[in-house]
Structure 1
Amino acid sequence: MQNQIKSLQNDKIKFLNQLKEKSRVRKREKRFIIEGKREITLAIQGSYTITQLYYCSSIIPFTEISALLSPSQHQVELFEITLEIYQKLAYRTTTEGVLAVAISKDNDIKNFTLSSKNPLILVAESPEKPGNIGALLRTADAAQLDAVFIANPKTDIYNPNIIRSSVGCIFTNNIATGSSAAIIDFLKKYNINIYGAALQKSVDYHTQDYTRPTAIVVGTEATGLSDVFLESTTQNIKIPMSGVIDSMNVSVAAGILIFEAKRQRGFTG
């Protein structure tokens, strides 16, 4: 059954706006917003539970909404909303006219289980910019990494800007979060070599063997890796550069390092 909502003052619309704008509400309610058909489809494929779907019939017909939902999502509440309401809630100016509310997953590293005996993992320490996090998740998806760990996250991973910038790859990756110490403990527990992208005591990245269990760790462009990680790496690695500056965008650097590891592992695309 579907219902119509025509007022911006409707309590459900007010709640959606809070989910969109406030991290504390997303954490408290364990809910978040997904915008767009592709992103919603990827979330469903990633075993996320959709509880509500809001669509604007002047943008997307109901037949497409029906096709979007899998049989497992038959309990989803459907709401038809006006163009004014949709434009108030949507992040993108060019979008498909549909929003979903989904239940957050527990991403704590304490509850994470590795499925691979020879994992390749990306660790991002203290990332702040949603755009960078989204780009890292897209790279991880392209390389089909076994996991992405976010150490000391500065924003919750269900921030709408992360979902948008990752083009839904937040749902295609195995993600865990925790303190740097907790993530290091996890990596050491499973005898995973830790390669830190850092200039201190580093060697050129292509000289190392990434065919064994490997974690590639990147820090922020401003401060790099913390001492906690620098004291725990198997080896620090660097990307040789010929320009004036000695750093590059974190997602670009991560891509270079990850695909070198994939090349060594026989990745052909």
Structure 2
Amino acid sequence: MPAADPITSPQNPRIKNLLRLQQKASERREQQLTIIEGHRELTIAHQAGIDIRSLFICSELAGDARQQELLATLGPQVEWFEVSKAVFERVAYREGSDGILALARPPQRRLDTLKLPANPLLLILEAVEKPGNLGAVLRTADAAKVDAVIVCDPRTDLYNPNAIRSSIGCIFTVPTVASSRDEVLAWCAAHGIRTYAAALTPEARPYTDYDFRGPTAFVMGTEADGLTPELRQACSDTIIIPMRGYIDSLNVSIATAVLTFEAVRQRS
């Protein structure tokens, strides 16, 4: 249960540390902790086996029923801290928060520890920099039961609290790894995975021309710049989603969903 004395001051050391963890990727790396806000996200993380270390809860926002549910779900090994509404609103990073915020140890995954089925379906993102885009892609990956999401040379922390929020916790349900471009390409080649670069180039062919029933990885670039020429040229094929209107491209998360569910359709 929560500690007897609620935290009522924003100068409390635990609250100040929460703010540091929110704001600085270096703090998250050093402490090997991240922040999960929201009952739904926390429940998904717990069900995925994530190590939940401590819980900060505002009873006024969370309500007694949800507190009792979390107590039964998380067990006594998780530290609980009651937080006043005024203090919680200082540390909450979303509007309309439900009064639940947790510290958790994110999984430390590497390419060489990924366990793949015989016929994997993967998503590779190059230099992703917007946590919201990463989160949206992870929701697609979860919905389609993608085997892993691999980020080449990321420009954002994979466990940025905003990525967790925008993924609704799917960062914990989909094996997600960061690595260098060269390591990812070598790893795909070693595992017989065909790589399809999504890029607006003269040689690109419509994605509907291809058979994605074998080991497949869709390789997606950034919103602003697309794929680097080095990564695009190293891929097995270049594909495009034909545009029928005035615009020439889609948001990266939407494009990823189109390609991913085409692969799912073919495989089913």
Task: State the Cα deviation string for residues 129-171 of structure 1 (Å, max 9, x = none).
Answer: 1111111111111111111111111110111111111111111
Greater shift after overlay, 252-261 or 240-249?
240-249
1:165 corresponds to which residue?
166
Counterparts of 2:189 and 2:74 in 1: how far apart (Å)? 38
Correspondent of 2:79 among 63, 77, 102 = 77
1:92 corresponds to which residue?
94
SS of 1:8's equivalent in the other structure is: coil
SS of 2:182's equivalent in the other structure is: helix
Is contact 1:112–1:176 with CA below 8 Å preserved after alignment? no
Task: State the Cα deviation string for residues 100-148 of structure 1 (Å, max 9, x = none).
Answer: 0001221332x43223110000111111111111111111111111111
Counterparts of 1:114 and 1:246 in 2: how far apart (Å)? 37
1:197 corresponds to which residue?
198
Is contact 2:51–2:105 with CA below 8 Å preserved after alignment? yes
Give RMSD over aligned pairs. 1.5
Q: 1:73 to 1:225 in 2, by over 3 A?
A: farther
Correspondent of 2:105 among 103, 106, 110 = 103
Unpaired segments ≥5 residues, structure 1: none
2:209 corresponds to which residue?
207
1:43 corresponds to which residue?
45
Counterparts of 2:73 and 2:2 in 1: how far apart (Å)? 17
SS of 2:61's equivalent in the other structure is: coil
SS of 2:115's equivalent in the other structure is: coil
SS of 1:167's equivalent in the other structure is: coil
- The alignment's TM-score, normalised by the length of structure 1, stands at 0.94
Counterparts of 1:157 and 1:69 in 2: how far apart (Å)? 28
Q: 1:234 to 1:69 in 2, by over 3 A?
A: farther
The code of the aligned residue for 2:240 comes to: K
Counterparts of 2:73 and 2:101 in 1: how far apart (Å)? 18
Is contact 2:114–2:175 with CA below 8 Å preserved after alignment? no
SS of 1:20's equivalent in the other structure is: helix
Counterparts of 2:250 and 2:215 in 1: how far apart (Å)? 26
What is the aligned length?
265
SS of 2:243's equivalent in the other structure is: coil
Correspondent of 1:59 among 38, 47, 61 = 61
The code of the aligned residue for 1:183 comes to: V
1:23 corresponds to which residue?
25
SS of 1:246's equivalent in the other structure is: coil
2:2 corresponds to which residue?
2
Is contact 1:181–1:228 with CA below 8 Å preserved after alignment? no
Counterparts of 2:117 and 2:162 in 1: how far apart (Å)? 30
The code of the aligned residue for 2:33 comes to: R
SS of 2:238's equivalent in the other structure is: strand
Q: 1:69 to 1:217 in 2, by over 3 A?
A: farther
Correspondent of 1:228 among 206, 227, 230 = 230
Shift of 1:75: 1.1
The code of the aligned residue for 2:82 comes to: E
The code of the aligned residue for 2:98 comes to: E
2:142 corresponds to which residue?
141
1:127 corresponds to which residue?
128
Task: State the Cα deviation string for residues 85-109 of structure 1 (Å, max 9, x = none).
Answer: 1100111221211110001221332
Counterparts of 1:209 and 1:96 in 2: how far apart (Å)? 45
% identical equivalent positions: 43
1:251 pairs with 2:253: yes
Is contact 1:180–1:228 with CA below 8 Å preserved after alignment? no
Greater shift after overlay, 153-162 or 62-71?
62-71
Task: State the Cα deviation string for residues 227-254 of structure 1 (Å, max 9, x = none).
Answer: 3322221111001112223221111111
Counterparts of 2:104 and 2:81 in 1: how far apart (Å)? 15
Q: 1:62 to 1:262 in 2, by over 3 A?
A: same
Shift of 1:72: 6.4
